[in-house]
Structure 1
Amino acid sequence: MKKRQLGNSDLYVSELGLGCMSIGTEEAAARRIIEAALEEGINYFDTADLYDFGVNEKIVGQTLRDVREQVIIATKVGNRWNDERTSWSWDPSKKYIKEAVKNSLKRLGTDYIDLYQLHGGTIEDQVDETIEAFEELKTEGFIRYYGISSIRPNVIKEFVEKSSIVSVMMQYSILDRRPEEVALPLLHEHGISVVTRGPLAKGLLSDKLLDKASEKGYLDYNFEELQAVLPLVKEKVAASRSFTEVALQYNLANPAVASVLAGASSPEQIKRNAAAVRSQPLSFEEVAIIKELTKASIYQQHR
């Protein structure tokens, strides 16, 4: 599988990464999913301390232990479970980040994290303090690089201006083109990579199409609009290939994107997604058709 450079780092991530949140807590089943990803050439594994109260990190770390030097492990910090584990609060403080990283390292069973990401962020945060924490962790050797996971243009701009982030994770798909307005061009201009999540829009952009549709619609598409646009994209662009191919290749067609994170709950799903990423890239004309048929949309908040 092809790899792309992550920002200005020396990390080269597979075009398809595994979003590990969906692998579950049954260790044997989760291990099979991760091993299937390795077999397909995936080297980029994304987890978070929030997932399954840290169990996800532990499973990912144990499964990847024997290939640790050949893979890129990314995890996240900032969401803090309460003592009862019934809810979490947002804590981007330096004190918490430097405490949490040690717990993640222990669960992952590794001496370093390749990519440590702030798991959210608001414009009210003490951004300078947060950045200081990440920079110190780099100097101390606990992390190699850092990034953020955010869809908020105002937060992204702050980190672009003030930090040395190498990546931003954000939701992006044919049905959620909001990042194209500000974030993708800005990040590409500054040499910061985008890692996309939600590329299949909760299954709407798979071959099941409207089988996955809710009467509530999806983002600013109502159900009737989905009924109109999805078959049209299928007809114009995906007539001779799977919709999953088109959806993943649409993300990879943007020059800011380094990797597409897709979750998987089975080895078979991994194989299908990997085949889609290896498929023929979309032409300039196909990308233009998709943009013509779908909504550009913008972020109404967080400006």
Structure 2
Amino acid sequence: MQERLLGRSGLRVSALGLGCMGMSEFYDPKGMSDEESIRVIHRFLDAGGNFLDTADMYGMGRNEALVGKAIADRRDRVVLATKFGNVRNANGEFLGVRGDAEYVKACCDASLTRLQVDHIDLYYQHRVDPNTPIEETVGAMAELVQAGKVRHLGLSEAAAETIRRAAKVHPIAALQTEYSLWSREVEPEILPTVRELGIGFVAYSPLGRGFLTGQFRTIDDLAPEDYRRNSPRYQGENFAKNLDLVKKIEELAKLKGCTPSQLALAWVLAQGDDIVPIPGTKRLKYLEENLSAGNLQLAPEELEQINNVFPVGSAAGERYHAQAMKAVNQ
């Protein structure tokens, strides 16, 4: 697998990462299998991938423990990324965001324990705390670097001005924010900002939380417990409008001789060598499909066709429900 540099940090990662969130929560919870998930992680590493993405909130820590178990005998082959900042209680209820220094350090120690590692390669603030200056948060994260617990720092869903302020405290290796054909909001301001500052861009949900794969035709294709049922883009008229867009992508994929998900991933990869998508899956067959997208080359005229089908702002509905939207681009 090809590799890409995350900005000017010197951190080299596989051009495709592996998002591990759905292995422990949110997507079809009853369909989760730790054994299958570990096979997926091992296959990803054997195929030349090295970039694994998790967070302390995924499965209330279970996802970090799962990833730690999967990489226990192959830690040297992994660029390990995890996140802190989203606070949940024992029942899983979201309580808000914290970025104060005490919380940052406590979260890092807890993640190291669950992951069973002595350092984290890339440590992100998952969401920006509106009640704590970013200088305090990144300052505490910088102390983790000095202590050898963390190698590189990242932010997630941060606004351009926040990114600039953070970068004055300590170099930021990567910004992780949603980016796909149906989530192109970063293009006018965020992408130019990180490129100016020499920060890599990690694109989460590059397949639109699965919608761009073409596997969903009605809301009933989602398991009853699947959290995407609450996503505005999966509901009512929005679902129908977005499905019409995906059908056009399916037509282009057929002409290209690939699947819609491969076309969507190849499009993200083609947006710049500083962009690393991290599609998530807990199934081997979907992993293999995603890996093949790394070899798919799109000609300029093909990119133009895709952009004409899915221009900026074409997706119907917000990408999160109203409360969650308050935490993005902060």
Q: What is the aligned partner in structure 2 of residue 253 from structure 1?
A: 270
Deviations 1:36-82 (A, max 9, x none): 21222211111111112212111211210211112111010112333
Q: What is the aligned partner in structure 1 of residue 10 from structure 2?
A: 10
Structure 2 vs 1, CA of residues 267 and 90 (structure 1 numbering), >3 Å: closer, same or farther? Answer: same
Q: What is the aligned partner in structure 2 of residue 68 from structure 1?
A: 75
The number of residue pairs the alignment matches comes to 301
- Does structure 1 retain, via aligned residues, the 8 Å contact 2:55–2:61? yes
- Does structure 1 retain, via aligned residues, the 8 Å contact 2:145–2:151? yes
Equivalent residue for 1:164, pick from 171, 187, 194:
171
Equivalent residue for 2:245, pick from 213, 229, 249:
229
Residue type matched to 2:298 in 1? L
Does 2:315 align with 1:266? no
Deviations 1:71-128 (A, max 9, x none): 1110101123335544333110111111111111111111110000001115543111
Q: What is the aligned partner in structure 1 of residue 63 from structure 2?
A: 56
Structure 2 vs 1, CA of residues 241 and 114 (structure 1 numbering), >3 Å: closer, same or farther? Answer: same
Give the TM-score normalised by the residue count of structure 1: 0.89
- In 2, the alpha carbon distance for the partners of 1:268 and 1:199 equals 17
- In 1, the alpha carbon distance for the partners of 2:199 and 2:282 equals 30
- In 2, the alpha carbon distance for the partners of 1:236 and 1:194 equals 26
Does 2:187 align with 1:180? yes
- Does structure 1 retain, via aligned residues, the 8 Å contact 2:97–2:129? no
Does 2:223 align with 1:206? no
Indicate the RMSD between aligned Cα atoms, in angstroms.
Answer: 2.7
Structure 2 vs 1, CA of residues 236 and 52 (structure 1 numbering), >3 Å: closer, same or farther? Answer: closer
Q: Secondary structure, in 3 states, of the residue corresponding to 1:76?
A: strand
Q: What is the aligned partner in structure 1 of residue 226 from structure 2?
A: none
- The more displaced of 91-100 and 199-208 is 199-208
Give the TM-score normalised by the residue count of structure 2: 0.82
Equivalent residue for 1:119, pick from 116, 126, 139:
126
- Does structure 2 retain, via aligned residues, the 8 Å contact 1:54–1:107? yes
- In 2, the alpha carbon distance for the partners of 1:98 and 1:165 equals 18
Q: Percent identity?
A: 30
* Structure 1 residue 289, shift from structure 2 partner: 2.2
Structure 2 vs 1, CA of residues 103 and 216 (structure 1 numbering), >3 Å: closer, same or farther? Answer: closer
- The more displaced of 84-93 and 169-178 is 84-93
Q: What is the aligned partner in structure 2 of residue 108 from structure 1?
A: 115
Deviations 1:225-272 (A, max 9, x none): 334433333334652321111100111111264321111121222111
Q: Secondary structure, in 3 states, of the residue corresponding to 2:123?
A: strand
Q: What is the aligned partner in structure 1 of residue 138 from structure 2?
A: 131
- In 1, the alpha carbon distance for the partners of 2:64 and 2:18 equals 13
Residue type matched to 2:122 in 1? L
Structure 2 vs 1, CA of residues 218 and 99 (structure 1 numbering), >3 Å: closer, same or farther? Answer: same
Structure 2 vs 1, CA of residues 228 and 82 (structure 1 numbering), >3 Å: closer, same or farther? Answer: closer
Long gaps (5+) in structure 1: none
* Structure 1 residue 182, shift from structure 2 partner: 0.9
- Does structure 2 retain, via aligned residues, the 8 Å contact 1:194–1:256? no
Residue type matched to 2:108 in 1? V
Structure 2 vs 1, CA of residues 157 and 225 (structure 1 numbering), >3 Å: closer, same or farther? Answer: farther
Structure 2 vs 1, CA of residues 53 and 222 (structure 1 numbering), >3 Å: closer, same or farther? Answer: closer
Q: Secondary structure, in 3 states, of the residue corresponding to 1:176?
A: coil
- Does structure 2 retain, via aligned residues, the 8 Å contact 1:238–1:246? no
- In 2, the alpha carbon distance for the partners of 1:187 and 1:195 equals 11
Structure 2 vs 1, CA of residues 86 and 39 (structure 1 numbering), >3 Å: closer, same or farther? Answer: same
